[in-house]
Amino acid sequence: MPTYTCPTCHKDVHVAKPDQLASRPFCTTRCRLIDLGKWLNEEYRISEPLESTSTPPDEPSDSGADLSS
């Protein structure tokens, strides 16, 4: 029987089949909505700044501007 831990309340959940629980990985719809509320209230954040998304040197730039003049 598969077991997993709810990320909101940390309760162990036992199910016969993983697809039997519609709110997975949460134990209940309530825990799922609590987690959604935390995302919407910006309580969860990415801890490190995102890496630069600059254009790789082998790909042409989409700007089309000629900066050489």
**Peptide linkage before 18 cis (omega within 30 of 0):** no
Rounded Cα gap, residues 54 and 41, in angstroms: 30
pLDDT of 7-51, one tens digit each?
999 999 887 776 677 778 888 899 999 999 999 998 887 777 767
Q: Identify the structural domains of the chain with CATH numbers, from first to last.
A: 3-40 (3.30.50.10)
DSSP assignment string, 50-61: PPP-PPPTTS--
Rounded Cα gap, residues 25 and 56, in angstroms: 38
pTM of the model: 0.56
